Amino acid sequence: MKKRLLFKVFTAVLLVGSFVLPSHAIVTHAATPSYIEVNNNVGMADTVVFKGAEAHDLVKVYSSDGSKLLGSATAMRAGNVTVKLKEPLKEATVKVTLTKVNKLESVAVVADVPSEKVTPKPEEGLFSVNNNVGKADTVSAQNVAAKDVVRIFNASNKLLGTAIAPRSGILVIPLKEQVLKDDKLQVKVTHYNSVESAAITITVGEEQKSIAILEENLSVQNNVGKPDTVTVEHVKAKALVKIYAGVKTIGSARAQRNGKLIVSLKESLAEGQVLGVSVTEDNSVESSVVTIKAGAERNSSPLIAGTISVQNNVGSPDTVTVKGVAVNDIIKVYDEKGILIGKAQALKNGDLLISLKIQLTARMVVRVTLTNVNSKEGDKVLAPEAPAEVISTALDAKVITVFNNVRMPDTVVVEGVQKRDLIRVYDAKNNLIGTTSVQQAGKITVSLKVPLKDTEKIYITITHLNMHESPKVEMSVRSEERTTLPV
């Protein structure tokens, strides 16, 4: 007992004021005990974990010589206690003590400090450069782990791009600058809680070139009355198609979806004109140019003379009728001097009536053309000669009755008339004294404007629809009838 006391006193005398480790704490150093784990972290505080502590146990960590307290932690419950150190570990060892409630601090245990973990050098085959067109170039990294940091440098060690993996798998790193074919890039990877790896070198490939359009997928529409077009089949969505006349761009369009694309041209084409066509697919450079020739504008089918008839009307515009036209066909009528005198467009398939701007005369010649949709005007076709205007046939006196009335207007009754016939009554001096239009077929009564005189002569005409007035028919006026007394 006396020897032990003398040893403690001697130890205390040697250690007073020299370092923080208490005088009673005897230091042992063998292999790091299994219940102590030293974590030499990267990018965050280093830690020491004391395993299997009891509630309220106090764990302290000292520098290798015991002169500096690096950190301490009290167990809130039974289990492991983690001590966060105030500064990064720089020495090869640390000293660890345990102090239980109502007891002195334990003997210090020496624990080895491991080296910081270094990320293994990545495999070259897991990285590829995307030499994009029209957008930032990128590097794709495969098989990365969550929280991995990938950094890309150029040959001059300039940082071009960096990205942190949000999850395991593929990580795409956008680059700040465009790269060129055969450029050398350096790639470094940093795993979580590890030092950055050594660099590997990858080579930039060439930009992807669009595949030229097949000639069989091209057609030129040499339109009439609207812009000419080029149709391209089997175009990919987002692809840009350009049409060239020599080196001049005369049309372009971008595909909204996969399939057919129609490109409207800014200039009208000539028959046989050579055009160049290229395609620029998404993330690719423009393809080589494919040439194609423009065909002739389409001619309309000529009219057949037998489908044309001319109507020389009376009291309404003269007309031409063409049978068997198609919807949107245009019919034009010209006079003998080639002046356009009528035009109409078909709203449906069938017969088309064209009103003329001038009155026709008997045997007058007109010519008619047909213009189909998206076609040039057809040849002029001679229409049948215009017929003479028709004169209505004179009335038969047998169907006419004249009433010389008393104390009411005199009248003329005509039988056998047709709807829309016009009856006129004239006096001997050719003054019109009565007229009526027929509203329905049958008999019509014409009231006269003046009283008739006994034995007077009057004249009656009829005008049928779309005909001239008939010759006059003379009728005698009978005397007004006198009342007869009973015998």
**pLDDT of 58-91, one tens digit each?**
999 999 999 999 999 999 999 999 999 999 999 9
Question: pLDDT over 90 for what percent of the chain?
Answer: 83
pLDDT tens-digit map of 381-437: 999 988 888 899 999 999 999 999 888 999 999 999 999 999 999 999 999 999 999
Residue 299 inside a domain? The answer is no
Co-location of 108 and 138 in the same domain: no
pLDDT at 270 over 90: yes
pLDDT tens-digit map of 435-468: 999 999 999 999 999 999 888 899 999 999 888 8
Co-location of 18 and 96 in the same domain: yes
pLDDT at 8 over 50: no
Co-location of 414 and 374 in the same domain: no
Mean pLDDT computed over every residue of the chain: 91
CATH number at residue 163: 2.60.40.3580
pLDDT tens-digit map of 284-314: 999 999 999 999 999 998 899 899 999 988 8
> What is the pLDDT confidence band of residue 5, given thresholds at 50, 70 and 90?
very low
Co-location of 359 and 401 in the same domain: no
Tokens at 193, concatenated? 């809680």
Co-location of 367 and 449 in the same domain: no
Domain boundary residue, one of 271, 293, 315: 293
Co-location of 219 and 253 in the same domain: yes
> What is the pLDDT confidence band of residue 129, given thresholds at 50, 70 and 90?
very high
> What is the pLDDT confidence band of residue 30, given thresholds at 50, 70 and 90?
low
Co-location of 7 and 105 in the same domain: yes
Co-location of 198 and 224 in the same domain: no
Co-location of 441 and 470 in the same domain: yes
pLDDT at 2 over 80: no
- Maximal C-alpha separation, the chain: 193
Number of domains in the chain: 5
Domain boundary residue, one of 357, 382, 407: 382
Distance separating alpha carbons of residues 263 and 228, to the nearest angstrom: 9
pLDDT at 9 over 80: no
pLDDT tens-digit map of 180-236: 999 999 999 999 999 999 999 999 999 999 999 999 999 999 999 899 999 999 999
pLDDT at 11 over 70: no
pLDDT at 115 over 90: yes
Distance separating alpha carbons of residues 122 and 190, to the nearest angstrom: 10
CATH number at residue 93: 2.60.40.10
Tokens at 35, concatenated? 């219940």
Co-location of 148 and 197 in the same domain: yes
pLDDT tens-digit map of 224-246: 989 999 999 999 999 999 999 99
Residue 487 inside a domain? The answer is no
In the predicted model, what is the mean pLDDT of residues 361-367? 89
pLDDT tens-digit map of 330-350: 999 999 999 999 999 999 999
Domain boundaries, position 162: 124-203
In the predicted model, what is the mean pLDDT of residues 23-34? 59
Co-location of 55 and 84 in the same domain: yes
Give yes or no for a contact between 446 and 438, defined as CB atoms under 8 angstroms apart.
no
Domain boundary residue, one of 258, 293, 328: 293
Co-location of 404 and 327 in the same domain: no
